[in-house]
Structure 1
């Protein structure tokens, strides 16, 4: 009996239906979830959450201070800006035009007036909702607005699509700050994040990170040129403190490799704190294999983040993680935005990169890697405090979830590669 062959029009109809299922339905579901979540959040304020005071660890000639409460961090950052004598470099992803945002802007303008060279970078896409008036700066400041459309006419060049997700402040070769905090009033008291401040020779590496980005993206057109940044200082090598930078334009993505190498070497414990956990399968497998060989693997994430779609997609990994023995802790009272990890009482990282595709293989990011027992102990204390404000998700609880939740997770699964 001859096999029936569908005419071309029927094939096209079938193809359209498949594309509808793979693209339109997941995107529509994501938009619906976002709208409902935005409505539910109106007027709601986060509760109080546990934090730790700033603590400083000496690593060679460097002093590293950890910050887990935004106001503590902002106070020290603004004090550093006010004391600047020669140069300030500020780079941020989000810069709100609110009270805290104005404090930073005014401090930078005052510094420029007293003769300090002030360089500023911010991501224009991340600040589309910020009033244009706030984003106007006097000519005394050198400001690089990383463009909304960064590919220009080279729309086929995927290396030009990354956002600038970094958060850096460097003042006078003297002190540098890096971590998860953006600039805004809500972040000062309502979000739980982690930043580090560094004084000592390794500040030079933060300066270099800023200068390399500035020189790679500065405009050279007439009337719109940005002066190049030339670094006179020489780097002093400190093997226990290293900065890893993702640079999409150069196809450099070392942060993912840094994580995987440390996870694969773990022998006792891996404690991760992540705002958005949407890893690739290799990353999931590394955590599973660590747990299966007896490593205490704990993943601390928000109970409810500010991106509900990311939450739903992240849940798609829970079954295999829990089955392997990974413990999942959900921070209750606030949005935890930290991107940190500590392993085996020796290894630590703090930075801007989330464990998701956008951060690990897409955006400009920077993480500091520190191999030092005292720093690891400080980060373990922070993790313990965060854990005290968290709910643990058990395997039985997860497997007993409602059918509609499983259905929604399945619908959103095609969006994983996009986030």
Structure 2
């Protein structure tokens, strides 16, 4: 009997494994159909669409302790100030970026870096390899005097530590002469200059050390001491403007904790702007808990972003958020790429990290955290100006969406950890 029972159990396991395989295959097939359909819909919607210039809420300034802060909402303005800073550099330039387009604006930055290096400025440039696969290698004609690191998606010892030796270099930082730093959502490209709404800040003061140090950490990992970026002491031990940098090479991911700590402290309002909203369960629960205790939680996302798959995966959270009292604002004027938040008129952050799994748990990211009411007031002005171009999503409207949309959202749920 025991032998028969063993054979029966083996048959049951085989049946279950076969069923699981069929189920997994069916799910993958359904996901492929949904993704292909969404890509087709996106192509059709974009076909022949005229690109409009993005609204520009303005440029705002604040003095926070020893830091002079400027908030940019226009690509044209921030690019001109970045290029001016590069052209006026006296001894050093450190730049890290995600996308560097091979277009007119990209060429201006390339030429400015080469000119600076040729006049004796020490120039270090880091850019992401995967994000720029479509840009011909012939575009990146750097002077021999420019120190360049094109970050590969997978580094050679990947098999030793998949988390440490992978990750996109999603940071966008420029540091000039260890005195002036720029950070935010703007990549380098002409399209972002006029057609995207994004947010960047310039900091002149002690927080520049944190921006420089995050670049140096990435650069120095595989460098000999002779080719490393030298360490410099910080100007202030406890500044009101603080830099948080995700560094996968060190398995360090502070930005997620920064957000959760700030949200947990909220008493009045939480206003978040992110282009891709795909939170993990803890972030989601923290936001819902805040709304439950009466905090005004508003999340602004693009109505239609540049990644339709991310949009649809994000839609899978809307019902729970709306039922939990969270306000969802769909920015309709253009693609909005800002990664910002402001809480209770006291705390704010501007940086490169989206509220999604890739940014908070995988990529190289850099955010600046500011605890100051004057700066928060300026950030609220930006959020309210952007809100004028938003459609508020309501629970009845969301509940009445097409049943096939619900099916697609459900099929895409397993993709959340990958986006």
**TM-score band w.r.t. shorter chain:** over 0.9
Counterparts of 2:82 and 2:229, CA distance in 1: 22
Q: 1:90 maps to what in 2? A: 95
* Matched position secondary structure for 1:275: coil
- Counting only pairs closer than 5 Å after superposition, residues 9-408 of structure 1 correspond to structure 2 as 10-152=15-157, 154=159, 157-218=162-223, 227-408=227-408
Distance 2:110 2:161 in 1: 36
Write the distance in 2 (CA, Å) between the matches of 1:21 and 1:42: 32
How many residues are treated as equivalent by the alignment? 413
Q: Once structures 1 and 2 are overlaid, which stretch shifts more, 29-38 or 401-410?
A: 29-38
Output the aligned Cα RMSD: 1.9
CA distance in 2, matches of 1:174, 1:156: 35
CA distance in 2, matches of 1:118, 1:153: 28
Contact kept? 1:50, 1:385, Cα under 8 Å: no
Q: 1:226–1:152: structure 2 CA closer, same or farther, 3 Å change rule?
A: farther
Per-residue deviation at 1:9?
5.5
Q: Secondary structure at the match of 1:111?
A: helix
Alignment check: 8 A CA contact 2:316 2:409 kept: yes
* Structure 1: 5+ residue stretches without partners: none
| SS state at 1:133 partner | helix
Q: How big is the shift at 1:10?
A: 4.0
Q: Are the aligned partners of 2:207 and 2:239 in contact in 1 as well (CA < 8 Å)?
A: no
Query: What are the ranges of 5 or more consecutive residues in structure 2 without an aligned counterpart?
Result: none
Q: Which moved more, 1:86-95 or 1:247-256?
A: 247-256
Residues in 2 aligned to 1:81 and 1:48: alpha-carbon distance in whole angstroms: 26
TM-score by length of 1: 0.94
Measured in 1, the distance between the counterparts of 2:78 and 2:122 equals 22
Deviates more, 1:36-45 or 1:400-409: 36-45
